[in-house]
Amino acid sequence: MIPVTKSFLPPQKEYQTILKRAWDQGWITNRGMLVKELEEKLKAYLEVPNMIATTNGTLPLQIAIKALGLKGEIITTPFSYVATTSSIVWENCTPVFVDIHPDYLTIDEGKIEAAITPKTSAILATHVFGNPCDVEKIEMVAKKHKLKVIYDAAHCFGVKYKGRSIFEYGDISTCSFHATKLFHTGEGGAIFTRDIDLHHKLFYHHNFGHKGQEDFYGLGINAKMSELQAAMGLAVFPYLEEIIDGRRKAVELYNELLSTSGPKIIKLREETSWNYSYYPLIFESEKQLVNIKEKLDKSGIHPRRYFYPSLSSLNYLKSQEVPVANSISKRIICLPLYHNLGKRDLKRICSILN
């Protein structure tokens, strides 16, 4: 079987050796030495000044909305994982969808301003498959209308745009360290901001609001990463270049072997240093996609319809018109992609597709 993705698992002995340090300390949660060490390693690797490791990639979105004091409407994308929209609703705000760019698949920056109303408080946009939004234009619109900007950068570990970490853009960026991501902690995530005062607020929000053991800065919840998760991250970290290189080689072989007259591939924004996180294909029709997926599934190859369906179809939201996102979501599929996907398997996949 060839799955759509496969978690990188470091040698078990290496994980156990790191984990033993927490065992020896008798400290397995509440920001022990492993979490702090992982944060420092990742800040250096990603070239970011501030970072908070969290227990998953969804809580950072909810904390970001809370910390920025957002109310009313938040402009967002219908082409993302459900956590982007559900976090807005969970925090008692209203998602307002803006359609996506047909090539980049990110929110269409040219349509954002028309969606702004007196109730709009922020823009929450997703960098799709590691492909950055037009961050400069979004920043211009946000400044003009005095809006906050949050980026869901769940797919963006290691991505740079114009020489800067993608996590450096916006008021707040978030990331996922889920087991399916190229860097993972089993389950986990992170939250980033350049603003040191906002970082302080985000930090106490993720730790019950604590100010020491007997006092509180303010409201908080529990989003702390455990030592068990951090140990996995520390065990995976030394293999990052190997992981990314393996994915890069698979992408290059896909590009070489797949017919240029077939489905479209994603268009990367110029000046992007990509991380080879996904390999999406856009078919001419949903019928064609379903036909190909059935053939692949019968051959033991399991791609994923991702993102599907469009978030505009969620049953707890009012319907909104986003024709490009609705069309793309029905015609897009992500092919298998992981660090050790072999040439023979890649050739099999491409042979069926071609």
- Contacts of residue 72, defined as CB under 8 A and 6 or more positions apart, other chains included, come to 93, 94, 119, 120, 121
- The reported pLDDT for the residue numbered 261 is 80
Question: Rounded CA gap, 86 and 93, in Å?
Answer: 10
Domains, the chain, ranges and CATH? Answer: 12-238 (3.40.640.10), 240-353 (3.90.1150.10)
Contact, 160 vs 113, CB < 8 A? no
For residue 259, what pLDDT is reported?
83
- The owner of tokens 């909305």 is 65
Query: 77 is written with which tokens?
Result: 């994308």
Residue 204 to residue 308: CA distance in whole angstroms: 35
pLDDT tens digit at each of 354 positions of the chain: 999 999 999 999 999 999 999 999 999 999 999 999 999 999 999 999 999 999 999 999 999 999 999 999 999 999 999 999 999 999 999 999 999 999 999 999 999 999 999 999 999 999 999 999 999 999 999 999 999 999 999 999 999 999 999 999 999 999 999 999 999 999 999 999 999 999 999 999 999 999 988 999 999 999 999 999 999 999 999 999 999 999 999 999 999 999 878 899 999 999 999 999 999 999 999 999 999 999 999 999 999 999 999 999 999 999 899 999 999 999 999 999 999 999 999 999 999 999
Instruction: Identify which of 198, 222, 194, 193 has the alpha carbon closest to the alpha carbon of residue 210.
Output: 222
C-alpha 51/C-alpha 203 separation (Å) is 9
173, containing H or E segment: strand 172-176
Task: Give the residue among 132, 76, 111 at the shortest CA–CA distance from 311.
Answer: 76
Give me the pLDDT at residue 209, please: 93
Reported as type and span, the H/E element at residue 67 is helix 59-67
Beta strands 172-176 and 272-273: pairing type?
A: unpaired
8-state DSSP, 2: B
Cα Rg of the chain, angstroms = 20
Phi, psi values for residue 131, rounded to 5°: -95, 120
pLDDT at 319: 87
- Please tell me the predicted confidence (pLDDT) of residue 158: 97
Q: Give me the pLDDT at residue 260, please.
A: 79
Report phi then psi at 264, rounded to 5. -80, 150
The pTM for the full model equals: 0.96
Structure tokens at 61: 């979105």
Sign (positive or negative) of CA dihedral 54, 59, 64, 66: negative
Q: How far apart are CA 98 and CA 314, in angstroms?
A: 15
- Could you give the 3-state DSSP secondary structure of residue 107? strand
